[in-house]
Each structure stands twice: as C-alpha cells, then as structure tokens.
A and B are shown apart, each in its own frame.
Chain A
Amino acid sequence: NAGVTQTPKFQVLKTGQSMTLQCAQDMNHNSMYWYRQDPGMGLRLIYYSASEGTTDKGEVPNGYNVSRLNKREFSLRLESAAPSQTSVYFCASSAPGGSYEQYFGPGTRLTVT
C-alpha cells in the first residue's frame, strides 16, 4: 500500500516549457487535491476533484490545468511555465464519508528559470 505517490520528485523547467505532474493514490479515495507550498504562505489549493469525472478550481488555479484520469490518478499540467510557478507541489487525497482527513504525497519540487 503506497498511499499517495507523485512523480517526478524534482524538475527544472525553462520559462515557457510545459510539463505534467503525476499523482496516484491506491486507497480508493474519491477526492483528490493539488496544492502548492511557498515559504510563508502555507499550502494553497490549486485544483481539486471531489470525485471521478469532476474538477474544480481552488484558490490559485491560474496557469494550471488538471485531469482526473480515473479514480486513482489526478494530474496537474503547466502549459507554459513561469518563474512564479517555482514551488513545491503536493497532491493529496481523502476518503468519502466525512472523515475530511487528507493524505499527502511526498511532493514535487519545481524550479522554473
């Protein structure tokens, strides 16, 4: 049982390049989330998916797109990376039924030059 996995762990992009961050969970959770973490700002929600087939914007969605490929996988895409997207990205999932507890992946450290 791996929990929440993320790939890659590290990535360096040049401004304007695109990439997709992958996230998968094996806990049969319905809801999945993408956060970014910046110093002094805590975690801010980018997008979330309450269930398979649905996605919604969070607090800071600009410059990102997401795909809920199936119940297990939730990917985050940067179409044209900007230096302001340099951050650590975390994926999380939560179970149905009102437990609200979120389980986090190990993160992807992205640098955009």
Chain B
Amino acid sequence: DAKTTQPPSMDCAEGRAANLPCNHSTISGNEYVYWYRQIHSQGPQYIIHGLKNNETNEMASLIITEDRKSSTLILPHATLRDTAVYYCIVRVSSMYSGGGADGLTFGKGTHLIIQP
C-alpha cells in the first residue's frame, strides 16, 4: 500500500468547512483513497473513498487531484462532534487484492479539533 502523509493536527471553527489534506505521491493506478475517522474512545468509522473522481456523500466530500498524488477531505459544516483523528489510507480495492489479508494500514492521521 502506498504511504500517506497528513498533518498531525488541525483546528477549525465550528460551522466552517474543515479541509484535511493528504499526500500520497507514490499511489498506484489501482489504489483507492479511503478516509476513516476515530472519535475518542470509539472504533474507526468509514467516511468516504475514491479512485480518481471527486466524491460526495452525506458526511463529506473527497477531492482528488488530477495526478492523484494528493487529496483533500472536506467536512462542509464542521460541528463539535467532528473532533476526531482522521486517517487517509491508500490501498488496492479488496476486489483486486486476490482475497488475501485485507486489513487496513493506519498511519498517524490528523487530529482535527473543532473550536466552538
């Protein structure tokens, strides 16, 4: 799986958009970008994933650069409950992984703190 680089921490004001960057310059053509978050004392939660097109769901938007070497997770209207560690993970979709060990490799993530 390709390596990712994220800032260790970020602050964002409540109600504003939170933009979390992720660098993945060694990403391969068949690797997806996944985002998970871990709220304190809970298990990680899936947020969104994408291959090369921008994606949006009810939780967030994912913007992937044209060269796919970086991406940004956008929480459009951050609330205090969005305070968490956000993990950017790059990996081959399980559909293509041959059914082998498909566990996720977590980096250190970004600790996003939403300020009131």
A-B interaction = no
| Chain B residues with a Cβ under 8 A of chain A | none
| Chain A residues with a Cβ under 8 A of chain B | none
